[in-house]
Amino acid sequence: MITQNPMLRTLAIFLTLSLTAYAQDRVVDLLKQLSEAPGVPGYEDAVRKLMTEQMRPLADSVTYDGLGSVIAQQGHSGPRIMVDAHMDELGGMVRHIRPDGYLSMQMLGYWLDAALPDQRWVVIGSKGPVNGITALWDAHIAPHQDGRPVQPGRALFVDVGAKNAADVQALGISPGDPVVPVSDFKVLANQRYLGKAWDDRVGCAVILEAMRRLAHESHPNQIFYAATVQEEGSIEMRGAQTSARMIDPDIGIALEVGIPNDLPGTDAEASQETLGGGPGVMLYSFSELPNRKLVDFLKQTAAEIHVPLQFDFVPGFGDDAGAIKLNKTGVPVTTLLVPARYTHTHNGIIDRSDFDRTVDVLVAVLKKLDAANVASIKKFD
């Protein structure tokens, strides 16, 4: 039906154009797919399938390590450059089925306690996904201390609507089944995107965009893009270890989320990034001291393409670079960050300009990492 009201007609045109632009934005669709895919540690199947489908047309070859990490290669000569992002997200698994039908949960990864109660989850059982919610005492009966509610710590139970253990069994749920956070992808104002699992699906998306740009361009090296498993909740960064052994890189670049410190009331020393301020570079974490020459090379390259960088020190942060650097006799590594608010919760926010500029820097670095530059970075005498 065609409306004769000019205001409504203008609104209809605006909505049509907006939806068309959204549909045509490949990156938005990619980020939505990656964010919403289920993939807690050890159960990365859906993300691996998505990454493999996207990588295969852009790569010379696609292989897997023994844990299920995906490794895509572009180029067959020159230095061996490993670009890493992990596929897994924080989540849980069913630990115990209680007689009353509640499920206890083994958490996978380091969760913020305050982010866990009253959240939606999906349990992926043998008969398919089952929706549930983490139970929380009603405000009218919850224990109080000095007039404030007292949280029961990490004793979490998932309510899937079951009345008893037999109901749970009928739903196809067993101990060990993955429990995945539920959070729909949404486009917010100023091209900011709300979703789950930005740690580290945004790194996976950076990999795919860099691969797309370099698929038909020459570069002076062999690039191995590794989408790894089992980073969260593992100080060994397991998938990065096994992938690095297969790749045997000369240089390692991890892609991760940065930690913005732009929330009101936060400690100014906690971290130094802001959302929308550009890509970040980790200068200190518990798993990594980056190679200083490689960091300088990254800084110089970013300056040449006029991309501002942010720098961060996060003692409570560890990433796959910490595993890559220990391969064989040692590998120069650095970590490039896409700032993401509210990590290790159900909902996070990233900024599109940060994402695009991170891809720009990564591509520029990969095009410059020739044999001479790699030899200079690796030289200590």
Higher pLDDT, 315 or 118: 118
**How far, in Å, CA of 60 to CA of 57, rounded?**
8
By the 10 Å C-beta count (0-12 exposed, 13-18 middle, 19+ buried), 364 is classed as middle
**Average pLDDT of span 25-36:** 96
What is the predicted pLDDT for the residue at 1? 42
Structural tokens at position 283: 């200068």
Q: What is the pLDDT of residue 10?
A: 57
Residue 136 clears pLDDT 90, i.e. is over it: no
Amino acid at 283: L
DSSP code at position 170: H
> What integer is the mean pLDDT of 334-349?
96
Q: What is the chain's mean pLDDT, rounded?
A: 90
Res 251 pLDDT > 80? yes
| Angstrom distance (rounded) from CA 171 to CA 94 | 13
- Give the pLDDT of residue 11: 57
**What pLDDT is recorded for position 381?**
84
Per-residue model confidence (pLDDT) at position 314: 81
What pLDDT is recorded for position 21?
A: 53
Residues ≥6 apart with Cβ < 8 Å to 362? 83, 206, 210, 253, 255, 336
Angle between helix axes 26-36 and 352-368 (nearest 10 degrees) is 100
Cβ-based neighbour number of residue 279 at 10 Å: 28
- Give the per-residue pLDDT at 285: 81
User: Is there a contact between 182 and 124 (Cβ–Cβ < 8 Å)?
Assistant: no
Above pLDDT 90, what percent of the chain? 76
Q: Which residue has the tokens 């203008």?
A: 10
Query: What CA–CA distance (Å, rounded) separates 292 from 297?
Result: 9
DSSP string, 49-63: HHHHHHHGGG-SEEE
For residue 7, what pLDDT is reported?
Answer: 59
pLDDT at 82 over 60: yes
Share of the chain above pLDDT 70, in %: 88
The pLDDT assigned to 13 comes to 57
Report the distance separating Cα 300 and Cα 328, nearest Å: 28
- Per residue in 11-40, is it b (16+ CB within 10 Å) or e — as a string? eeeeeeeeeeeeeeeebbebbbbbbbbbbb
pLDDT of amino acid 144? 62
What's the whole-number mean pLDDT along residues 177-187? Answer: 97
The mean pLDDT value for 294-305 works out to: 97
Residue 171 has pLDDT above 90, yes or no: yes
**How remote is the C-alpha of 219 from its chain's centroid?**
26
> Has residue 263 got a pLDDT over 60?
yes
Averaged pLDDT for residues 266-292? 85
Evaluate if residue 20 carries a pLDDT over 50: no
* In contact, 369 and 294? CB cutoff 8 Å: no
198-224 core/surface letters (b: 16 or more CB in 10 A; e: else): bbbbbbbbbbbbbbbebeeeebbbbbb
Range of 10-24, 103-117, 119-133 with top mean pLDDT: 119-133
pLDDT tier at 307, thresholds 50, 70, 90? very high
Structure letter (DSSP) for residue 257: E
- Catalytic site residues? 231
Is residue 6 predicted with pLDDT exceeding 80?
Answer: no
Q: E strand or H helix at 339, and its extent? A: strand 333-341
Cβ atoms of 225 and 211 closer than 8 Å:
yes
pLDDT reported for residue 298 = 97
When pLDDT is averaged across residues 154-172 and rounded to a whole number, the result is 93
Q: Can you tell me whether residue 312 is helix, strand or coil?
A: strand
194 vs 234: CA distance, rounded Å: 26
For the 91-181 domain, the top CATH level (class) is mainly beta
**What's the mean pLDDT in 117-124?**
95
Question: With contact defined as beta carbons under 8 Å apart, do 85 and 228 qualify?
Answer: yes
Domain boundaries, the chain: 25-89+196-378, 91-181
Least confident window among 63-72, 193-202, 267-276, 339-348: 267-276
Alpha helices in the chain (DSSP H): 6-24, 26-36, 45-55, 165-170, 198-214, 238-247, 292-304, 321-324, 352-368, 371-378
Separation in Å, CA 201 to CA 75, 274, 291, 319: 24, 19, 25, 14
In sequence order, what are the beta bridge partners of 310?
280
CATH topology (fold) of 25-89+196-378: Aminopeptidase (3.40.630)
pLDDT at site 69: 98
Query: Mind listing the pLDDT tens digit for each residue in 349-370?
Result: 999 999 999 999 999 999 999 9
pLDDT (tens digit, 9 = 90+) per residue, 225-242? 999 999 997 667 899 999
Rg (CA), the chain: 22
User: According to the model, what pLDDT value does residue 262 have?
Assistant: 85
Mean pLDDT of 259-269: 79
> How far apart, in whole angstroms, are the C-alpha atoms of residue 123 and residue 145?
34
